[in-house]
Amino acid sequence: MTLEHFPGIARLQFDPTPAVRSIAQCRPRFHHYNPSEIVAGRSMQDQLRFAACYWHTMRNGLGDPFGAATAQTPWDDGSASIENAKRRADAFFEFLTKCQIGRWCFHDRDLAPEGQTIAQSERNLDQLVAHVAQLQSATGHRLLWGTANLFSHPRYLHGAATSPSVDVFLQATAQVRKALEVTQALGGEGYVFWGGREGYDTLLNTDLARERAQMARFLHIASDHAQSIGFTGVLLIEPKPHEPTTHQYDSDSEATLNFLREFGLFGRFKLNIETNHATLAGHSMQHELAVASAAGSLGSIDANMGTSGLGWDTDRFPTDVMLTTEIMLAVLNMGGLKQGGLNFDAKRRRASFEPVDLFHAHAAGMDAFALGLKAAARIRADGRLHEFVRARYESWDAPLGQSIRAGQLTLAQCAHEATKVAVVAPASARQELLESIVNDIVFTSDR
């Protein structure tokens, strides 16, 4: 890593002084993210466990269905050579270091070009894995999670594990076996299964029951393999309701947890929840996190956001402080991210095409999460919301409520108890008051 792929960009520092008046003079820096600052008992760096993704950062030229790529990538000659792939990795690790992002995530095909055969693809990947292993030890950056791209190659046009062709299923097993093994070799803390094309476009040509069973079989043998090689990372499934398919089987947290329970996989996998996938499913991120967390299955977070009113997966950088506050509240409430992280599965807008925009974009997301972390910690320290919710359910903690919860009363016994209640008087839920309290806490700075 001797070359400077981002000349003129210094390592980003925490600098809370007010922004210069001219946008043209703004250099990337952190206004709120201060890695060593202690919030809720731990450093921001440990609480937030940021990761950058290889696919959007290094492999997304910012093209869209209407126009060509715009991103300036002077380190990339556009070829599928191993040398080019290694140079890209060098640029990425320089980016991680300068942006103070401790972790990263990748797909097998982001890192190394696919070959003509499985063996050739594996040799290509091995060369890049050896190279990034050196970069990891030179820089101290760690792999949050790896995954296999089972959606880009035309062979996966009908799905991978859910393909009507067993030959395609086999190709997917070869890719996942290798991706799991290189993730382990790189010390990955997790491995993600995102069912990119595991769904259907029309039931006129689809045996839904068979496809779901195939997907379960795939996850069984993949998790068996992870266990057999001694992989100690967390296995994650990433729900998404549609796009590219009309319906994806892992459509949201509830559906995915039900799928895991139906096929005897619950407990072997946790969920990787992405904000823009939550909103595509018609849910808030808060809902998806709450569902996963309630089942003890919140594993990791893909930190991005969508564009309201636009039904696409736009993968914007998460700059909404209310959103990051809600996310960090869920994280603090479950005792931290553990083996998970906040992975910026986010891309710059097509019009933010200069290399420096990669730094501005990530710094914006990191600052928003720093603000969100501090606000969430203040909400917890304030205690009013927690106390309101506790008090709202306190009749269930009285002796009768406890007996019902413990299964000691039949329906007839409950009905008999009902006759003893003179006045049924529900209390107000005070939603607007609570929203106002949250606003007060979030927008009142602690410094």
Closer to Mn ion by CB, 108 or 313: give it.
313
Pairing of strands 38-39, 42-43: antiparallel
Cβ atoms < 10 Å from Cβ of 176? 24
Contact 334, 290 (CB under 8 A): no
**By CB under 5 A, which span of 72-80, 121-129, 274-282, 363-371 interacts with Mn ion?**
274-282
Closer to Mn ion by CB, 28 or 241: give it.
241
Over the Cα atoms of the chain, what is R_g?
24
Closer to Mn ion by CB, 189 or 315: give it.
315
Whether the upstream peptide bond of residue 244 has omega within 30° of 0, thus cis, is yes
Q: How far is the CB of 302 from Mn ion (least distance, A)?
A: 7
Closer to Mn ion by CB, 298 or 438: give it.
298
**By CB under 5 A, which span of 16-24, 57-65, 276-284, 360-368 interacts with Mn ion?**
276-284
Structure tokens of 421? 């209640």
d(CA 434, CA 411): 35
Query: DSSP string of 115-165?
Result: -SSHHHHHHHHHHHHHHHHHHHHHH--EEEEEE---SSSGGGTT-STT-S-
Pairing of strands 270-274, 298-302: parallel
Q: How far is the CB of 192 from Mn ion (least distance, A)?
A: 13
Please pick, from the candidates 214, 276, 300, 325, the single residue that binds Mn ion as defined by CB under 5 A. Answer: 276
Q: Around 236, how many Cα atoms within 13 Å sit in the side-chain half-sphere?
A: 29
Catalytic residue positions? 107, 110
- # binding residues, Mn ion (CB under 5 A): 3
Q: How far is the CB of 55 from Mn ion (least distance, A)?
A: 11
Closer to Mn ion by CB, 214 or 276: give it.
276
Closer to Mn ion by CB, 53 or 376: give it.
53
The closest alpha carbon to 245, from 310, 308, 160, belongs to: 160
Q: How far is the CB of 316 from Mn ion (least distance, A)?
A: 9
**By CB under 5 A, which span of 107-115, 155-163, 185-193, 271-279 interacts with Mn ion?**
271-279
d(CA 297, CA 101): 25
In sequence order, the 6+-apart residues with CB closer than 8 A to the CB of 84 are: 76, 77, 78
Stretch 209-268 residues interacting with Mn ion (CB under 5 A): none
The helix, strand and coil proportions of the chain, stated in percent and rounded to the nearest 5, come to: 45, 10, 40
Q: How far is the CB of 410 from Mn ion (least distance, A)?
A: 48
d(CA 162, CA 218): 9
Q: How far is the CB of 282 from Mn ion (least distance, A)?
A: 15
Q: Collapsing DSSP states into helix, strand and coil, what is residue 30?
A: strand
Phi first, then psi, for residue 8 (nearest 5°) are 85, -5
Is 96 exposed, middle or buried (CB count within 10 Å of its CB: 0-12, 13-18, 19+)?
Answer: buried
**By CB under 5 A, which span of 111-119, 214-222, 259-267, 270-278 interacts with Mn ion?**
270-278
- Note whether 288 binds Mn ion by CB under 5 A: no
Stretch 302-321 residues interacting with Mn ion (CB under 5 A): 313, 315
Pairing of strands 38-39, 50-53: unpaired
**By CB under 5 A, which span of 77-85, 143-151, 269-277, 423-431 interacts with Mn ion?**
269-277
Q: Mask 371-410, x = binds Mn ion (CB under 5 A)?
A: ----------------------------------------
Q: How far is the CB of 68 from Mn ion (least distance, A)?
A: 22
Q: How far is the CB of 287 from Mn ion (least distance, A)?
A: 17
d(CA 239, CA 253): 6
In sequence order, the 6+-apart residues with CB closer than 8 A to the CB of 98 are: 6, 9, 10, 11, 12, 359
In sequence order, the 6+-apart residues with CB closer than 8 A to the CB of 13 are: 29, 30
- Name the site residues for Mn ion (rule: CB under 5 A): 276, 313, 315
